[in-house]
C-alpha cells in the first residue's frame, strides 16, 4: 500500500464510524474467564460481578451455583430469575451484561503495530481487531486475509481476502472491514514488497510488487521505455540468483519468457549504444 500510515488509519476510522455490517452480529456465548454484571432490580444485596469459573458456572446469593457457559446474557438472566423467587421477591427482574471479555480471542499478525491475541467482544468486527492491534504499519500492503477456524464465510470458504485502497475506502472495503469475527479467527496483514526500476524509462522509481508481476508489466506501469532505452534489460535478483539479461523484444514476440519479479529486484534499462 503506497499511502501513509495516517491515511490507512483514517480509512479504518471511517469504516468504524459509518459502515453497516453485513447481517446481524453473532450472539456472544460466555465462557470461563468472562466477568458478568448481574443486576437484580431493587436488590443490590443480590446483585454481583461474578467471574465464570473453569467449571462454566458462577455463584450468586440465594441462587447458588448457576451453569452459564455457552449461554447468552439474556439466557443467563432468564435462568437466574426463577432461582431468586422468594416471599420477599415474588417476581425478580434480572439483567445480565458482559463486563469483561476473557474467554474468546482472535489473533492478528503481520504488519500491525501490536500483533498478537486480541479479545473477542460481542460484535467485534474486522476493523475493531485491526484497531485493537494499533492499526497498520507503513509496510502494510493493503491485503488482509482472515482465516476462519470454526465455521465458514457466506461463500462457504474458510478464507476472506480484503483489499484496502487507502484514504478513500470503497463501499466494498467498508463492508469487508465491518464483517464480524468469530472466536479463533486469524487475521494476517501482509507486507508490501517493492521492486526498483531505473534508467531509460518514462517514470523510474520504486514500485509496489503486485502478485505475479512480470518485467513487461513493470515497464508498462512506468510508462514504457524512453526513445533511448535499450531492449536488452538487466534484472538484478535480490534473492541471490544474481543478474540476468532479458531481451524485451524477444519477450514481446513470444520467443523468450517474461520473467516474474521477486521482492527487492532491481531492473535497469540502459541507454542504446550510439
Same domain, 260 and 142: no
Same domain, 114 and 177: yes
The domain that holds 51 is classified in CATH as 3.30.1950.10
* 274 located within any domain: no
Q: Please give the share of the chain, as a percent, with pLDDT higher than 70.
A: 91
Decide which of 223 and 22 is more confident. Answer: 223
Count the residues in the chain.
274
Instruction: Give how many domains the chain has, as a whole number.
Output: 3
Same domain, 151 and 15: yes
What is the residue range of 75's domain?
A: 35-100
* 59 located within any domain: yes
Specify the pLDDT at position 15: 57
Same domain, 96 and 108: no
Q: How confident is the model at residue 9 (pLDDT cuts 50, 70, 90)?
A: low
Mark which of 149, 174, 191 sits at the end of a domain: 191
* Tens of pLDDT, residues 237-247: 988 888 999 99
Answer yes or no: are the C-beta atoms of 157 and 138 closer than 8 Å: no
Q: Is the pLDDT of residue 179 over 50?
A: yes
Q: Give the mean model confidence (pLDDT) for residues 109-133.
A: 93
Residue 173 grid coordinates: 472495503
* 70 located within any domain: yes
Specify the pLDDT at position 110: 95
* 136 located within any domain: yes
Mark which of 156, 191, 226 sits at the end of a domain: 191
Same domain, 114 and 237: no
Q: Please give the share of the chain, as a percent, with pLDDT higher than 90.
A: 67
The domain that holds 116 is classified in CATH as 3.10.560.10
* 39 located within any domain: yes
Same domain, 178 and 254: no
Q: Is the pTM of this model over 0.85?
A: no
Answer yes or no: are the C-beta atoms of 192 and 140 closer than 8 Å: yes
Same domain, 198 and 244: yes
Specify the pLDDT at position 231: 92
CB burial class (10 A; 0-12, 13-18, 19+) of residue 161?
exposed
Same domain, 75 and 138: no
Same domain, 122 and 12: yes
Question: DSSP characters for 178-214?
Answer: TPBP-TT-EEEEEEPPEEEEEESBSS-EEEE--TT-B
Q: Is the pLDDT of residue 219 over 50?
A: yes
Specify the pLDDT at position 184: 94
Mark which of 191, 215, 247 sits at the end of a domain: 191
Same domain, 19 and 141: yes
Specify the pLDDT at position 2: 43
Same domain, 244 and 201: yes
Q: Is the pLDDT of residue 6 over 60?
A: no
Answer yes or no: are the C-beta atoms of 200 and 230 closer than 8 Å: yes
Same domain, 112 and 95: no
* 145 located within any domain: yes
Q: Give the mean model confidence (pLDDT) for residues 90-101.
A: 95
Q: Is the pLDDT of residue 166 over 70?
A: no
Residue 145 grid coordinates: 486475509
* 56 located within any domain: yes
* Tens of pLDDT, residues 34-82: 999 999 999 999 999 999 999 999 999 999 999 999 999 999 999 999 9
Amino acid at each position: 500500500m503506497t499511502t501513509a500510515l495516517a491515511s490507512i488509519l483514517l480509512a479504518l476510522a471511517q469504516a468504524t464510524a459509518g459502515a453497516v455490517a453485513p447481517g446481524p452480529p453473532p450472539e456472544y456465548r460466555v465462557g470461563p474467564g468472562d466477568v458478568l454484571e448481574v443486576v437484580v432490580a431493587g436488590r443490590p444485596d443480590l446483585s454481583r460481578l461474578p467471574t465464570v469459573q473453569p467449571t462454566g458456572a458462577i455463584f450468586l446469593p440465594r441462587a447458588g451455583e448457576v451453569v452459564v457457559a455457552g449461554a447468552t446474557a439474556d439466557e443467563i438472566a432468564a435462568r437466574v430469575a426463577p432461582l431468586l423467587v422468594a416471599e420477599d421477591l415474588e417476581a425478580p427482574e434480572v439483567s445480565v451484561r458482559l463486563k469483561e471479555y476473557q474467554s474468546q480471542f482472535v489473533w492478528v499478525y503481520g504488519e500491525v503495530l501490536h500483533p498478537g491475541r486480541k479479545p473477542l467482544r460481542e460484535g467485534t468486527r474486522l476493523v475493531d481487531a485491526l484497531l485493537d492491534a494499533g492499526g497498520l504499519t507503513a509496510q502494510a500492503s493493503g491485503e488482509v486475509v482472515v482465516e476462519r477456524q470454526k465455521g465458514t464465510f457466506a461463500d462457504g470458504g474458510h478464507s476472506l481476502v480484503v483489499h484496502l485502497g487507502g484514504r478513500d475506502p470503497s463501499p466494498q472495503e467498508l463492508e469487508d472491514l465491518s464483517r464480524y469475527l468469530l472466536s479463533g479467527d486469524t487475521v494476517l496483514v501482509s507486507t508490501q514488497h517493492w521492486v526498483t526500476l531505473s534508467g531509460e524509462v518514462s517514470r523510474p522509481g520504486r514500485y509496489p510488487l503486485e502478485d505475479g508481476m512480470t518485467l513487461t508489466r513493470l515497464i508498462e506501469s512506468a510508462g514504457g521505455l524512453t526513445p533511448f532505452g535499450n531492449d536488452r534489460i538487466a534484472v538484478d535478483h535480490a534473492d541471490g540468483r544474481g543478474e540476468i539479461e532479458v531481451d524485451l523484444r524477444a519477450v514481446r514476440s513470444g520467443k523468450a519468457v517474461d520473467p516474474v519479479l521477486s521482492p527487492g529486484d532491481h531492473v535497469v534499462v540502459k541507454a542504446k549504444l550510439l
